[in-house]
Amino acid sequence: MKANFKRVINSEIPVLVDFYADWCAPCKMLAPILKEVKDEMGEKVRIVKIDVDKNEKLARRYLVKGVPTMMLFKDGKQLWRQSGLLQKPDIIKAIKSHH
């Protein structure tokens, strides 16, 4: 997963990574919000979901202490990070501010 993840975040298109867990209630609430973000932004953003229980090393590497944690990458660089549940306008604003 690590090499593949590096390839994914090394994109000219912003990549929003959602570190989540199946047992996390706020993560379940975030899933439809992220779908709305994708529907609105289309090809301007790529959204990737990472299950922290199945990708523990990756979660540790990015110091994910709580879920959901979202990170925005572009060209392999982390541009933004936020833990907790955010609403669609806040997520879109964060993505657009780093476009």
**Helix (H), strand (E) counts: the chain:** 4, 4
Percent of the chain predicted with pLDDT > 70: 98
- Whether residue 13 has pLDDT greater than 70: yes
- Active-site residue (options: 24, 48, 58, 79): 24
With beta carbons less than 8 A apart as the criterion, state whether 31 and 70 touch. Answer: no
pLDDT score of 1: 55
Q: Is 27 a catalytic site residue? A: yes
Residue 4, token pair as written in the block:
């593949």
pLDDT score of 98: 84
- Active-site residue (options: 9, 17, 27, 45): 27
Domains in the chain, CATH or no CATH each: 2-97 (3.40.30.10)
The model's pTM is 0.95
Give residue-wise pLDDT tens across range 49-93. 999 999 999 999 999 999 999 999 999 999 999 999 999 999 999
Q: Is 96 a catalytic site residue? A: no
DSSP 8-state class, residue 44: G
Query: In DSSP terms, which residues pair with 18 in a beta bridge?
Result: 49, 70
pLDDT score of 3: 73
